Protein backbone atom coordinates (compact mmCIF):
# COMPACT_ATOMS: atom_id res chain seq x y z
CA UNK A 1 0.00 0.00 0.00
CA UNK A 2 1.09 3.47 -0.81
CA UNK A 3 0.91 5.71 2.30
CA UNK A 4 2.42 8.73 0.54
CA UNK A 5 -0.99 10.03 -0.57
CA UNK A 6 -2.38 9.95 2.97
CA UNK A 7 0.65 11.85 4.26
CA UNK A 8 0.18 14.67 1.72
CA UNK A 9 -3.56 14.82 2.41
CA UNK A 10 -3.06 15.18 6.18
CA UNK A 11 -0.22 17.67 5.68
CA UNK A 12 -2.36 19.81 3.37
CA UNK A 13 -5.24 19.77 5.89
CA UNK A 14 -2.89 20.92 8.66
CA UNK A 15 -1.47 23.71 6.47
CA UNK A 16 -4.94 24.91 5.45
CA UNK A 17 -6.08 24.89 9.10
CA UNK A 18 -3.04 26.93 10.14
CA UNK A 19 -3.57 29.46 7.35
CA UNK A 20 -7.26 29.85 8.22
CA UNK A 21 -6.54 30.31 11.92
CA UNK A 22 -3.85 32.91 11.22
CA UNK A 23 -6.06 34.75 8.77
CA UNK A 24 -9.14 34.78 10.99
CA UNK A 25 -10.06 38.16 12.41
CA UNK A 26 -11.80 38.28 15.73
CA UNK A 27 -14.28 41.11 16.07
CA UNK A 28 -15.48 42.02 19.50
CA UNK A 29 -16.98 45.02 21.21
CA UNK A 30 -16.15 46.16 24.68
CA UNK A 31 -19.20 47.35 26.54
CA UNK A 32 -18.74 49.20 29.77
CA UNK A 33 -20.81 48.06 32.69
CA UNK A 34 -23.68 50.30 33.60
CA UNK A 35 -23.51 52.11 36.86
CA UNK A 36 -26.23 50.18 38.67
CA UNK A 37 -25.82 52.36 41.75
CA UNK A 38 -27.72 55.15 39.98
CA UNK A 39 -30.69 52.91 39.21
CA UNK A 40 -30.73 51.40 42.71
CA UNK A 41 -30.49 54.89 44.17
CA UNK A 42 -33.45 56.12 42.11
CA UNK A 43 -35.58 53.20 43.34
CA UNK A 44 -34.54 53.84 46.93
CA UNK A 45 -35.21 57.57 46.70
CA UNK A 46 -38.55 56.90 44.99
CA UNK A 47 -39.58 54.60 47.83
CA UNK A 48 -38.43 57.04 50.53
CA UNK A 49 -40.14 59.98 48.82
CA UNK A 50 -43.38 58.04 48.40
CA UNK A 51 -43.29 57.16 52.10
CA UNK A 52 -42.83 60.82 53.03
CA UNK A 53 -45.74 61.83 50.79
CA UNK A 54 -47.98 59.06 52.15
CA UNK A 55 -47.20 60.15 55.70
CA UNK A 56 -47.92 63.79 54.86
CA UNK A 57 -51.23 62.94 53.18
CA UNK A 58 -52.23 60.59 55.99
CA UNK A 59 -51.42 63.16 58.68
CA UNK A 60 -52.74 66.14 56.63
CA UNK A 61 -49.39 67.95 56.74
CA UNK A 62 -49.07 69.22 53.18
CA UNK A 63 -46.81 72.16 54.07
CA UNK A 64 -44.29 70.08 55.98
CA UNK A 65 -44.26 67.34 53.31
CA UNK A 66 -42.35 69.60 50.91
CA UNK A 67 -39.94 70.51 53.75
CA UNK A 68 -39.32 66.81 54.44
CA UNK A 69 -38.80 66.11 50.74
CA UNK A 70 -36.42 69.06 50.55
CA UNK A 71 -34.42 67.60 53.44
CA UNK A 72 -34.51 64.12 51.89
CA UNK A 73 -33.17 65.37 48.55
CA UNK A 74 -30.54 67.45 50.38
CA UNK A 75 -29.37 64.45 52.42
CA UNK A 76 -29.07 62.24 49.34
CA UNK A 77 -27.22 65.00 47.53
CA UNK A 78 -24.73 65.34 50.38
CA UNK A 79 -24.28 61.55 50.59
CA UNK A 80 -23.65 61.12 46.85
CA UNK A 81 -21.52 64.09 45.74
CA UNK A 82 -21.05 62.81 42.17
CA UNK A 83 -24.79 62.85 41.47
CA UNK A 84 -27.33 65.54 40.68
CA UNK A 85 -30.89 65.08 41.93
CA UNK A 86 -34.05 66.53 40.49
CA UNK A 87 -37.47 65.81 41.99
CA UNK A 88 -40.93 67.04 41.03
CA UNK A 89 -43.63 66.97 43.69
CA UNK A 90 -47.23 68.17 43.70
CA UNK A 91 -50.53 67.92 41.92
CA UNK A 92 -52.04 69.49 38.81
CA UNK A 93 -52.43 72.91 40.47
CA UNK A 94 -49.19 73.20 42.45
CA UNK A 95 -45.88 71.65 41.42
CA UNK A 96 -42.56 72.13 43.18
CA UNK A 97 -39.22 71.30 41.60
CA UNK A 98 -36.37 70.28 43.93
CA UNK A 99 -32.99 70.49 42.25
CA UNK A 100 -29.90 69.44 44.19
CA UNK A 101 -26.59 69.54 42.40
CA UNK A 102 -23.04 69.37 43.66
CA UNK A 103 -20.42 71.78 42.46
CA UNK A 104 -16.76 71.22 43.16
CA UNK A 105 -15.10 74.58 43.72
CA UNK A 106 -11.56 73.46 44.38
CA UNK A 107 -9.30 71.09 46.21
CA UNK A 108 -7.01 71.08 49.20
CA UNK A 109 -3.93 68.96 49.60
CA UNK A 110 -1.28 68.29 52.16
CA UNK A 111 1.65 66.48 50.67
CA UNK A 112 0.45 63.63 48.49
CA UNK A 113 -3.08 63.41 49.93
CA UNK A 114 -5.78 65.72 48.70
CA UNK A 115 -9.52 66.21 48.91
CA UNK A 116 -12.00 67.93 46.64
CA UNK A 117 -14.07 70.73 48.09
CA UNK A 118 -17.64 70.36 46.87
CA UNK A 119 -20.74 72.23 47.92
CA UNK A 120 -24.29 71.06 47.55
CA UNK A 121 -26.62 73.58 45.92
CA UNK A 122 -30.29 72.98 46.69
CA UNK A 123 -32.95 74.97 44.84
CA UNK A 124 -36.74 74.87 45.00
CA UNK A 125 -38.73 76.27 42.11
CA UNK A 126 -42.41 76.29 41.32
CA UNK A 127 -43.09 75.02 37.84
CA UNK A 128 -46.19 74.91 35.75
CA UNK A 129 -47.69 72.07 33.81
CA UNK A 130 -49.07 71.99 30.28
CA UNK A 131 -52.20 69.88 30.36
CA UNK A 132 -51.33 66.57 31.97
CA UNK A 133 -47.64 66.80 31.09
CA UNK A 134 -44.77 68.32 33.01
CA UNK A 135 -41.59 69.12 31.11
CA UNK A 136 -38.52 69.32 33.30
CA UNK A 137 -35.20 70.52 31.84
CA UNK A 138 -32.00 68.88 33.04
CA UNK A 139 -29.03 70.23 31.15
CA UNK A 140 -29.67 69.92 27.43
CA UNK A 141 -32.32 67.22 27.85
CA UNK A 142 -35.99 67.75 28.69
CA UNK A 143 -37.85 65.05 30.60
CA UNK A 144 -41.61 64.70 30.31
CA UNK A 145 -43.77 63.27 33.08
CA UNK A 146 -47.48 62.59 32.90
CA UNK A 147 -49.44 63.88 35.89
CA UNK A 148 -51.73 61.43 37.65
CA UNK A 149 -54.63 62.23 39.97
CA UNK A 150 -53.53 63.09 43.52
CA UNK A 151 -49.98 63.75 44.65
CA UNK A 152 -47.17 63.08 42.18
CA UNK A 153 -43.49 62.43 42.85
CA UNK A 154 -40.97 62.05 40.02
CA UNK A 155 -37.20 61.76 40.25
CA UNK A 156 -34.31 62.20 37.81
CA UNK A 157 -30.78 61.34 38.97
CA UNK A 158 -27.72 62.16 36.88
CA UNK A 159 -24.28 60.84 37.71
CA UNK A 160 -21.16 61.67 35.78
CA UNK A 161 -18.30 59.24 35.99
CA UNK A 162 -15.30 58.10 34.04
CA UNK A 163 -17.50 55.82 31.92
CA UNK A 164 -19.88 58.60 30.88
CA UNK A 165 -23.10 60.12 32.18
CA UNK A 166 -25.75 57.86 33.68
CA UNK A 167 -29.34 59.05 34.08
CA UNK A 168 -32.12 57.28 35.98
CA UNK A 169 -35.71 58.45 35.79
CA UNK A 170 -38.43 57.24 38.15
pLDDT digits (tens, 9 = 90+) for 29-72: 666 666 677 778 888 888 888 888 888 777 776 567 778 888 88
Strand partners, 116: 107
Q: What is the pLDDT of residues 100-129, one digit of tens each?
A: 876 666 666 666 666 666 655 656 555 656
Q: What is the pLDDT of residue 53?
A: 80
Q: What is the pLDDT of residue 56?
A: 75
Mean of pLDDT values over 95-103? 76
Q: What's the gap between Cα 154 and its chain centre?
A: 14
Give 147: exposed, middle or buried? Use CB within 10 Å, 0-12, 13-18, 19+.
Answer: middle
Task: Please list, residue by residue across 45-75, b when 16 or more beta carbons sit within 10 angstroms of its beta carbon and e when fewer do.
Answer: bbebbeebbeebeeeeeeeebbebbbebbee
Considering only CA atoms, which of 155, 167, 166 is closest in space to residue 76? 155
Mean of pLDDT values over 123-151? 71
Q: What's the first-to-final CA gap in the chain, in angstroms? A: 79
Amino acid sequence: MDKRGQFFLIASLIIVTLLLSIGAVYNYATVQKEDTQVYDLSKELGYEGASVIDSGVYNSQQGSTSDYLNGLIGNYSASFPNSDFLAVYGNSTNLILFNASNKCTGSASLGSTGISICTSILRNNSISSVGNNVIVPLGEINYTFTLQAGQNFYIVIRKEGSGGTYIAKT
